[in-house]
Structure formats: C-alpha cells, structure tokens
Chain A
C-alpha cells in the first residue's frame, strides 16, 4: 500500500532555489535480516528515485539497503518555469510509484 508525501512550494520566483522533500512508504527490507526460523528475509528495496521538471531529469538517487525504511530524500532545484514536477520510485519486485506536483513560477 504505497503512499508518498511530497513537499514542493506551490509558487516560486523565477531563478529561486526551491527545496523539495519526498517521503515514500516502503519497508526497504535489507536482505540481511533473518526470520524466526532462521531463514533469510529476501531483499526488497527501492533502488532508484528520479525527479523530472517538465520532462527534463533534474535529480536522481540510486539507493542501497542502507537507506532507512520509508525513504526520505531532500534535494533542490532552480524554479525555471511553471509546470509539473514528476517523481518516480522503482525497485525490487516490480515496485513502481509515480507522483506529481505543480509549481507556478512568476
């Protein structure tokens, strides 16, 4: 049951640096844990996060099991024009979540 929390300012001035905060629901199972019977719990993580701004990639993060569950990623981008920021998380077991946010640039 994936849910994501995105924080993008609704408006910004042209040229302003805006901070973007993202939080997504995911256990980030490391693959190192063992269950009660001693068997290893298989790895299940988000491996890639990509952010695009009106279709152009502005940021990417390649994640490994050391990223905490419910990955939190903060980055910034320059507000160049009004439009849509799209965020895509992909990972093990065909995990794929896409979210968008609009920004108005004056």
Chain B
C-alpha cells in the first residue's frame, strides 16, 4: 500500500468511526422508554402529572395583559391550541434579527420585550417555565422538526462539536454516556439517549419543572465542568444539535423524568 493510499485509509476509518458512534435512527428511543412503569403512568395522566400545574399557570399568563402596551400573548396569537401547534417542535429556530438560532424561552422573552414592552422573564422563573410548558404542550405528539439549512448549519456544527468534546474534571464528552453507554445504569438510573422530546420537564429530582438548559447545566456540573450561563450560545447551539439529532421523534412535553 502506497503511503498516500494508507493515509486515505486512515482518514476513511477515522471518519467512519466518528459517525459509527451516533445512535442509528431506528434505535433512537425517548427518555420515556427508560423510566419505570409508575413514572410513565404519572406522565400519561394529565390529571396526575404535576407539570400540568405549570401548564395551567401558563394558560393564565397567556391571557394576561402586560407591559407598557397592556398586551397579552393571546391578543396577537389568539388561541394557543391552534397557533402554537408545532412551535416548540421547531425550536431552536433561526432569528433573522439576531442572526442566530434562539430557544423557545428566548423567543418568548423577545416577544415580551419587543411586542409587549415588558421586562424579560428571568431564566427558570416560574412565569417563563409556565409559558414555555404551555406552549410546548401544544406540540405534544408532533415530530421534532428543527430547520437545518445554510443559515443554521454552522450552529448545529458548533453544537455537535460541544456534544463530542471532552469537558470538565472528569474529562467526559456527552457522547460517551449518551451515544456509547445509553441503557446502562449510572448510580441507579438508566442513562437515556439524551433526546429533548419532553422539555420543559418535571424532574423528580427537582420536584419541579425546569428547562433543558437547567438539565444541561446539571450534567456539566456532574462531570465537574463549569456550566455555561443560561442563554449562552454554547447551550443554544447544543440544544439545536440535540433537537436535530432527535429529528422526527415525537414530542411528549411537558414530560416527567427521574
């Protein structure tokens, strides 16, 4: 084998190995499938799912007139059950004004500041979680459908790089648990594949609803890395990558997770 042919062989093998780590499309499973029967039952029953308390609150906030212009979400968007159908399934989405993708939370705050002339809601505040849960609920059962095109590609690539990059004192990459070791037990819980189908989730560990960014920050703390700030580009890009990785999977927000 000539040196050049040998080089090509190495490049091909490395490239193949990088993609071999990704979960094959047909083997993708929601975090729901890794939960106990009791926890699944809790999620399936809207009369027993504690996340519904946030959804109900979100419904009330949707109709509340706020800001200098005294405008409610409903005044522009009408009935969320129709107008918000599929919206959560398409976020993070490219925002032309900002020139980059934004999360659903950022989109809501964008509306608050620009259209309602109200101050933005703090990340992980009860109001923001309630509105996000209410909007996400309208995408339940719909396939994840984030747009990957020339505009969003660089951000997906950045998110993918983060997913595969070793970080923290434990020097772990997300892929090592969630691509290579999903299904195995870690301290008593099964490692899921990390598809964000259910966010914002009611996490049993939090005993409350929280966003995907909160969960990602929790994972970063777990591998003893400095967690990115809420709303940081690193987190938004990672979320975009995770959603693209889960493209086609059905949303089950607001979900319950252990």
Direct touch of chains A and B (CB < 8 A): yes
Considering the chains assembled together, what is the distance between the CA atoms of A72 and B51 in angstroms? 12
Choose one: B47, B48, B126; the contact of A1 (CB below 8 Å).
B126
What 1/0 mask marks residues of chain B from 26 to 49 whose CB sits below 8 Å from any chain A CB? 000000000000000000000110
Asked if A63 is an interface residue, CB under 8 A from chain B, the answer is no
List 7 A-B pairs, minimum CB-CB distance, nearest first.
A69-B207, A7-B47, A70-B50, A25-B53, A21-B47, A3-B53, A3-B57
Asked if A27 is an interface residue, CB under 8 A from chain B, the answer is yes
Report the count of interface residues on B (CB-CB < 8 A). Answer: 10
Residue of B nearest to A27 (CB): B207
Q: Once the chains bind, are A3 and B208 in contact (CB under 8 Å)?
A: no
Choose one: B48, B126, B207, B208; the contact of A23 (CB below 8 Å).
B48
Asked if A17 is an interface residue, CB under 8 A from chain B, the answer is no
Asked if B52 is an interface residue, CB under 8 A from chain A, the answer is yes
Asked if A78 is an interface residue, CB under 8 A from chain B, the answer is no
| Chain A interface extent, by class | 10 to 19
State which residues 19-78 of A face B: CB under 8 Å.
21, 23-25, 27-28, 68-70, 72, 74
Minimum C-beta distance from B58 to chain A (A) = 10
State which residues 93-133 of B face A: CB under 8 Å.
126
**Tally of A-B Cβ pairs under 8 angstroms:** 35
Apart from A23-B47, A23-B48, A23-B50, list 5 A-B contacts with CB within 8 A. Answer: A5-B47, A5-B53, A7-B47, A69-B50, A70-B50
Choose one: B47, B48, B56; the contact of A3 (CB below 8 Å).
B56
Residue of A nearest to B204 (CB): A68
Considering the chains assembled together, what is the distance between the CA atoms of A62 and B120 in angstroms? 40
Considering the chains assembled together, what is the distance between the CA atoms of A101 and B182 in angstroms? 45
Chain A residues, Cβ within 8 Å of B207: 27-28, 68-70
Residue of A nearest to B47 (CB): A7
Q: Which residues of A contact B (CB under 8 A)?
A: 1, 3-5, 7, 21, 23-25, 27-28, 68-70, 72, 74
Residue of B nearest to A22 (CB): B47
Given contacts A21-B47, A21-B48, A23-B50, whether A5 and B56 have CB atoms under 8 Å apart is: yes
Considering the chains assembled together, what is the distance between the CA atoms of A65 and B60 in angstroms? 30
What 1/0 mask marks residues of chain B from 47 to 71 whose CB sits below 8 Å from any chain A CB? 1101011001100000000000000
Considering the chains assembled together, what is the distance between the CA atoms of A1 and B57 in angstroms? 9
Chain A residues, Cβ within 8 Å of B48: 21, 23, 72, 74
Chain A residues, Cβ within 8 Å of B56: 3, 5
Chain A residues, Cβ within 8 Å of B53: 3-5, 23-25, 70
Considering the chains assembled together, what is the distance between the CA atoms of A68 and B52 in angstroms? 16
Minimum C-beta distance from B254 to chain A (A) = 13
Considering the chains assembled together, what is the distance between the CA atoms of A72 and B49 in angstroms? 9
Q: Once the chains bind, are B57 and A72 in contact (CB under 8 Å)?
A: no
